Amino acid sequence: MNNNDQQLRLLNPGPVTLTQRVRQALTRPDVCHREREFTRLMDDVRDGLRRVYPQAQNDYEAVLFTGSGTSAMEAMVGSLVPRQGKALVLANGVYGERMANMLRTQGKTPEVIQHHWTSGLNLEEVNQRLEQAGPISHVIAVHHETTTGRLNDLPGLGAICRQQNIPLLLDTVSSFGGEAIDFEGWNVEACAATANKCLHGAPGISFVLARREVLTSQSSASPSTYLDLFANYKSQIQSVPQFTPAVHVMYALQEALAELKESGGWQHRQQLYQSRSAQVREALARSGVQLLLDGPDCYASSLTSFRLPDEVSFSRLHAHLKQAGFVIYPGQQSLNDTIFRIAVMGDLSNQDIAELVGALDEFFCHAEANYCET
Ligand SMILES: *Cc1c(COP(=O)(O)O)cnc(C)c1O
């Protein structure tokens, strides 16, 4: 690599900085997706995805899509929410709202409990709605709402779904592989996720993990050919992908899954993220920079959102950190000018985190001396 190509350390919530091992898998020999070499690879990846959470390995199946995380979300809600069914969508950020919009685009009529983006899920309201007349086919929620970094209260919501026996569809795009998911306890019918966030694969492949019983006993409600969960499942269990897959990205995902397993699985990754995030949060707290949400306990392990101090523009902070070799992330939509986000997924060393802390201290304590308390 020459200087211009130097690897920036990505602190956006995916795509992440790849390990050398995963990046090298992208350069493996070209392969035809209808040959044995590929179908072995696909079977292995589908198997590996089921085993990330041992609780899911017997009763769930992974269905792969070539596309970003959004394609898996769309396949999930499009195929599983019945055309005449009423889903209850909980939205406290961009991604919950996105799933409600998908359903509307598909000609379905979801009910939406809209929250402020800085609020946690209102479980009382969920309970009230479920007790009312009018059946709800599915509850739909986001596990880690990346808009703010909030790890939504799935133990609370899942207990309601389990108790009322209402299937839960989850966007776990930014939590799969890095947070606990209680498939049974939360009554999860399916979750959608991607290769290139907590799993540390390359962008281009996403997947739905769905109950096998549902995939084999129900029919598809999908208005889409490409994103039909059931049709893709039927061909993938026969080891024939329905459409041309991103074959090199599949090699990379296979390596990423092997790395995850060898390094101690999702629990180890969660701890690693927590330790990295704690260092970032401490550094910024020293400089008087405030969290967007009420406290560190609100957050997923992999991401934190901070309020931009008055007079500090995102672009200046971003430029300072990019100079130091890091890419950080702005807020979305209404939070675009008021917050910044730091994710700690991907291949980052202790040295990287120390350098990041140094660069943050330098910006807020020296370049922006007003903001430093010490
Ligand atoms: C990243 C993300 C997505 C999907 O984004 P893509 O750009 O389509 O990969 C969906 N939901 C959440 C919670 C996310 O963080």
268 is written with which tokens? 């180890």
Q: Whose CA is nearest to atom 12 of ligand 1?
A: 173
366 is written with which tokens? 């020296």
Is the pLDDT at 2 greater than 70? The verdict is no
Pocket test for ligand 1, best of 16, 65, 70, 345 (most atoms within 8 A of CB): 70
Pocket test for ligand 1, best of 92, 173, 191 (most atoms within 8 A of CB): 173
Least confident of 189-193, 294-298, 363-367: 363-367
- 146 CA to centre of ligand 1 in angstroms: 8
345 is written with which tokens? 């997924």
Looking at the CA of residue 194, tell me the nearest atom of ligand 1. 9
Residue the block writes with tokens 């009018």: 134
The model's confidence at residue 12, banded by pLDDT at 50, 70 and 90, is very high
Given this model, what pLDDT does residue 4 score? 53
pTM, 2 dp: 0.96
Is the pLDDT at 106 greater than 80? The verdict is yes
Regarding beta strands 168-171 and 111-114, do their DSSP bridges make them parallel or antiparallel, or are they unpaired?
Answer: unpaired
**Per-residue CA distances from 215 to 58, 70, 245 (Å):** 14, 20, 21
**Per-residue CA distances from 166 to 86, 163, 281, 316 (Å):** 12, 8, 37, 47
pLDDT digits (tens, 9 = 90+) for 148-166: 999 999 999 999 999 999 9
Alpha helices by DSSP H, listed for 177-246, are 212-217, 229-237
Is the pLDDT at 18 greater than 60? The verdict is yes
Looking at the CA of residue 73, tell me the nearest atom of ligand 1. 10
Cβ–ligand 1 distance for 14 under 6 Å, the answer yes
CA pair distance 188, 26, nearest whole angstrom: 33
For residues 295-303, average pLDDT: 97
pLDDT digits (tens, 9 = 90+) for 202-246: 999 999 999 999 999 999 999 999 999 999 999 999 999 999 999
Contacts of 272 (CB under 8 A, 6+ apart): none
Given this model, what pLDDT does residue 5 score? 66
pLDDT digits (tens, 9 = 90+) for 309-351: 998 999 999 999 999 999 999 999 999 999 999 999 999 999 9
DSSP state of 329: E
Pocket test for ligand 1, best of 90, 142, 146 (most atoms within 8 A of CB): 146
Given this model, what pLDDT does residue 347 score? 98
Contacts of 318 (CB under 8 A, 6+ apart): 327, 328, 330, 340
The model's confidence at residue 366, banded by pLDDT at 50, 70 and 90, is confident
Residue the block writes with tokens 């890091």: 326
Given this model, what pLDDT does residue 373 score? 52
Is the pLDDT at 3 greater than 80? The verdict is no
pLDDT digits (tens, 9 = 90+) for 51-93: 999 999 999 999 999 999 999 999 999 999 999 999 999 999 9
CA pair distance 121, 272, nearest whole angstrom: 26
Given this model, what pLDDT does residue 1 score? 44
The model's confidence at residue 98, banded by pLDDT at 50, 70 and 90, is very high
Phi then psi for 339, rounded to 5 degrees? -135, 165
DSSP state of 296: G
- 131 CA to centre of ligand 1 in angstroms: 31
pLDDT digits (tens, 9 = 90+) for 237-277: 999 999 999 999 999 999 999 999 999 999 999 999 999 99
The closest alpha carbon to 305, from 274, 280, 276, belongs to: 280
Instruction: Verify cis geometry, omega within 30 degrees of 0, for the bond prior to 203.
Output: no
Pocket test for ligand 1, best of 77, 117, 171 (most atoms within 8 A of CB): 171
- 69 CA to centre of ligand 1 in angstroms: 5
Given this model, what pLDDT does residue 133 score? 73
Cβ–ligand 1 distance for 68 under 6 Å, the answer yes
Cβ–ligand 1 distance for 70 under 6 Å, the answer yes
Given this model, what pLDDT does residue 134 score? 79
- 205 CA to centre of ligand 1 in angstroms: 12
9 is written with which tokens? 């350390």
Q: For all residues of the chain together, what is the average pLDDT?
A: 95
Q: Whose CA is nearest to atom 2 of ligand 1?
A: 173
Quickly count: other Cβ atoms within 10 Å of residue 362's Cβ.
Answer: 14
- Concatenate the DSSP letters of all residues of 249-301 into one string: HHHHHHHHHHHHHHTTHHHHHHHHHHHHHHHHHHHHHHTTPPBSSSSGGGB-T
Residue type, 234: K
